[in-house]
Amino acid sequence: MAEKSILILISGRGSNMEAILEARLPARIAAVISNEPQAKGLATARAHGITTSVVPHRDFPDRAAFDAALASAIDVHQPDLVVLAGFMRILTDNFVARYAGRLMNIHPSLLPAFPGLQTHRHALAAGVRIHGCTVHFVTPALDGGPIIVQAAVPVQPGDSEETLAARVLREEHRIYPQAIRWFCEGRLALAANGKAVVQSARAPENVLVCPAVER
Ligand code: GRF
């Protein structure tokens, strides 16, 4: 199978991007594009020898115009997969349709719980005992596309948003490269029922962390 080419979109810190760059995936990272000129991840990408560019959303009158410019910047590289790694823009349906089946996102909750922003705050407020993260294909439904892989972490008594976010982020850095690896190896498919299917003997081990039960 030909080596896949991946393009990563970021808006800020870029720690998921860095985990992907360091995962030694069987893929070529075509470029990293940010909508924020100041995104810290841009320097990290360049330090890894990756081509970067910026499409500043503030330069465009509306979402449609920004998305069209972003799509043009992406299509120069003809990537097989577009990876949203902390990309903080809501994308138009046209953009999502253009990359259907080859647009992935990571979300810091166990979807469908806590879509949207401030997921760790909402998890603490709800009092859930288990929280986590989800890699999914992107569809027009916000944080609603087919789930590829999830990791769960316990919520500890005394957790703050920060301690919980850090525990979840460690798992994000594990499952995002894993999902992309499956894609690159051709082991990821969308079934007729709309669900993502992983052909991996080890897949079940990667989806759930069970807390011990006290007796
Ligand atoms: C991550 O928590 C990711 O799940 C969310 O935004 C954050 C981005 O962090 N979508 P980073 O830029 O990858 O460090």
Reported as a single tens digit per residue, the pLDDT across 169-203 is 999 999 999 999 999 999 998 888 999 998 866 65
Angle, to 10 degrees, between the axis of helix 119-126 and the axis of helix 161-184?
120
Q: How confident is the model at residue 122 (pLDDT cuts 50, 70, 90)?
A: very high
**What's the burial of 42, exposed, middle or buried (CB within 10 Å: 0-12/13-18/19+)?**
buried
Rounded to two decimals, what is the model's pTM? 0.93
- Average pLDDT of the chain is 93
pLDDT at 191: 87
What does the alpha-carbon distance between residue 140 and residue 36 come to, in Å, rounded to a whole number? 23
Catalytic residue among 57, 107, 120, 173: 107
Task: Please indicate whether residue 80 or residue 213 has the higher confidence score (pLDDT).
Answer: 80
CA of residue 149 to ligand 1 center, whole Å: 16
Are β-strands 27-34 and 103-107 bridged in parallel, bridged antiparallel, or unpaired?
Answer: unpaired
Q: Is 123 in the pocket of ligand 1 (CB under 6 A)?
A: no
Task: Please indicate whether residue 210 or residue 46 has the higher confidence score (pLDDT).
Answer: 46
Is there a catalytic annotation at residue 120?
no
Q: Is 172 in the pocket of ligand 1 (CB under 6 A)?
A: yes
Structural domains of the chain sorted by starting position, each given as residue range(s) with its CATH number in brackets = 1-99 (3.40.50.170), 108-215 (3.40.50.170)
Task: Please indicate whether residue 201 or residue 66 has the higher confidence score (pLDDT).
Answer: 66
Q: Which tokens belong to 178?
A: 């894993």
Q: How confident is the model at residue 143 (pLDDT cuts 50, 70, 90)?
A: very high
